[in-house]
Amino acid sequence: CVRMELGGRTLQELSDTHLGDGEHMPPEQLGRYARELLEGVVFLYTQQVVHRDLKPANVFLDGEGRIKLGDVGVVKLMRCYMMWGQTQVGTPLYMSPEIIRRERYDKRVDVWSVGCIVHELMSLTPPFAARNMFELRACILSGRWRPPPLSYSQELRGVVAKMMTVQPRLRPDLDALLR
């Protein structure tokens, strides 16, 4: 029902279309999607919600091409007395290192996932290449990901790299990213 209301497209499908065409997403379009994605996550945080399973297949495009976050089945309500979660949830390709290590985490897990999504929109493939879960885990924990294409600006590639910093405390906060 929601899929039909939103026009039936996800960022995953859009990325697959670009991959099939052999063309990368124009920087202006990528920038707009990244900004709207960040704004959606900021809205969740104003509601004290951490999504924890952001991935291109959970980011929908409405009939006018605007970003809508979906699949909030694993969101976590964060309260002032409960600053950290510890449950391991999410899709492994976009899962932050702290969740993989089963450490306490906060809203910075979503910053990591947004970085992975933007990287995938730039590269048209997920940032981590692995043959199995063990290799994927090792790549994520070490921060070894494929660099995005040089056709995008150094600034954008740098922002993505900061979002995908293994140490959560070193990741930029969303307000800084939106500025």
Side-chain-facing half-sphere of 110: CA atoms under 13 Å: 29
Q: How far apart are CA 68 and CA 40, in angstroms?
A: 7
Separation of alpha carbons 15 and 7, rounded Å: 16
| Chain-centroid distance, C-alpha 141 | 16
User: What are the φ and ψ backbone dihedral angles of 24, each rounded to 5 degrees?
Assistant: -80, 155
CB within 8 A of 121, min separation 6: which ones? Answer: 11, 15, 25, 30, 33, 34, 56
Which sequence positions are flagged as catalytic? 53
Tokens 């809508």 sit at which residue? 68
C-alpha dihedral (162, 133, 130, 141), degrees to nearest 10: 30
- In angstroms, the CA 98 to CA 149 distance is 27
